[in-house]
Structure 1
Amino acid sequence: MNPEEFAAALRDKNVILDDKQLTQYQTYYDHLVSVNEHMNLTAITDRDDVYLKHFYDSLTLAWAYPKLQTDQLRMIDVGAGAGFPSLPLKIAFPQLKITIIDALNKRIKFLQELVTELGLEDVTVVHARAEEFGHKKAPNREQFDVATARALARLNVLGELTLPLVKVGGALLAMKGSAASEELNEAQGAITKLGGKIGQEVPVNLPNGDPRTIIIIDKVSATPNRYPRKPGDPARKPL
């Protein structure tokens, strides 16, 4: 998917990118592959693959959850790595207010440089672990309209890392592959304990036919104060 095909695919979804936005995606790609030469950010570096498997793939969240396209939502991206999915979403939908947390300082440095180079506003990048960022006394607990993560953890672990950050009435948008139903069945008890309710499984396909699933977990009640547990426990002892 070259940049022209990327723009055309978005037009098919009624998302029209202007020249500034198209340039921002090109700058993103250039900076990503440049830094990736000395830092392991992604195994995908071919331009057409980055546009398809990183940029377009990130934007599938907006097809599954259309409010991302129009509303001034506060979104937190947990363990964003090279900025996916939140920064491609921010370029396409500038009204979003983005917070990114990652536990690796060198990735945070990359993201801060990238946000500056792209000229993005209302993007906050924080070096933190999700378990501490959403702790019962943390100021960011239950402050976000939407939480998301891509390829971070299985859903029963991901729920504990993200749902404490989501306000009641908000949602967790979990990006998964085609085998999402198995994870969902495994995670049902954990989701309920954390104040969530399974909303929808939204199947989406990339333009090349690759299947994806967006799992929408609605936040219906406050997360009990005992969650999230201390750093490392959600992964070691999943709910």
Structure 2
Amino acid sequence: MNKEQFLAALQEHGIELSEKQQQQFDTYFNQLVEWNEKMNLTAITDEPSVYLKHFYDSITAAFYVNLDKKLTLCDVGAGAGFPSIPIKICFPELEVTIVDSLNKRIGFLEHLAKELKLENVNFVHARAEDFGQNKKYREQFDIVTARAVARLSVLSELCVPLVKKGGQFIAMKGAAAKDELVDAEKPLAVLGAKIQDKHSFLLPIEESERNIFIFNKMKNTPGRYPRKPGIPNKTPIQ
């Protein structure tokens, strides 16, 4: 996906990028490639693939949820900033918090935010399980999102405790998503979330399957969740 195709594809969904925003994506790409030479951020480094598989793919969540207003958004395990930084570039009014367990990645993201001149972006070095038990962050966010971090039965325990009652958890998944959704039904119910919507589509050009699940937070999450680091992955809620 070249830049022109990227802009046109976003326009089809009502997202018009200014010159400043286009420049921010250029800078993001250049910083990603530069930093990737000294630390492992991504295996995808050619420009068309980055624009398709990282930038465009990240923004697809905004095709199904209205993000064009002042909301608090938390991105769990953002890695090199996906999906939250591309979303933040498109919707500057969002207040974004990114949590990641690797301090080197947080260092890259802090540098990136300065280069992009982003405001209202916070970075936290923590395990998601510990983060979710921190009163400062627990049940504080309008939207919590994650992209390709863990299977849904595990991911829900890391994300749902952060969503405020009435807020939404958005899971961005690949082709195995429908099976994951079946396995996650019980954990989601225990954690206080209920499926609101699911969207399946093909990524342009390469036509690989993508799924976006939107869950509503119906009630407060029981205090014991998330459990201690590592436990959700080893023994998902049954």
Amino acid at match of 2:45: T
Residue 211 of structure 2 is matched in structure 1 by 213
Residue 173 of structure 1 is matched in structure 2 by 170
Point out where structure 1 has 5 or more consecutive residues left out of the alignment. none
Q: How does 1:134-153 map to 2 (within 5 A)?
A: 134-135=132-133, 138-153=135-150
Q: The residue matched to 2:143 in structure 1 has which SS?
A: strand
User: In structure 2, how many angstroms separate the alpha carbons of the residues matched to 1:31 and 1:204?
Assistant: 29
User: In structure 2, how many angstroms separate the alpha carbons of the residues matched to 1:64 and 1:178?
Assistant: 18
User: In structure 1, how many angstroms separate the alpha carbons of the residues matched to 2:86 and 2:75?
Assistant: 12
Residue 85 of structure 1 is matched in structure 2 by 83
User: Structure 1 vs Structure 2: percent identity of aligned residues?
Assistant: 55
Is 1:163 matched up with 2:150? no
User: In structure 2, how many angstroms separate the alpha carbons of the residues matched to 1:195 and 1:204?
Assistant: 27
Is the 8 Å Cα contact of residues 71 and 96 (structure 1) preserved in structure 2? yes
Is the 8 Å Cα contact of residues 148 and 174 (structure 2) preserved in structure 1? no
Q: The residue matched to 1:107 in structure 2 has which SS?
A: helix
TM-score (norm 2): 0.97
Is 1:58 matched up with 2:58? yes
Point out where structure 2 has 5 or more consecutive residues left out of the alignment. none
Is 1:8 matched up with 2:16? no
Aligned counterpart in structure 2 of residue 117 of structure 1, from 112, 115, 118? 115
Residue 196 of structure 2 is matched in structure 1 by 199
Tell me by how many angstroms 1:119 deviates. 0.3
Is 1:75 matched up with 2:78? no
Q: Runs of 4 or more off by more than 6 Å in structure 1?
A: none
Is the 8 Å Cα contact of residues 60 and 204 (structure 1) preserved in structure 2? no
Across the aligned residues of Structure 1 and Structure 2, the Cα RMSD in angstroms comes to 0.9
Tell me by how many angstroms 1:231 deviates. 1.1
Tell me by how many angstroms 1:204 deviates. 2.6
Q: How many residues align?
A: 236
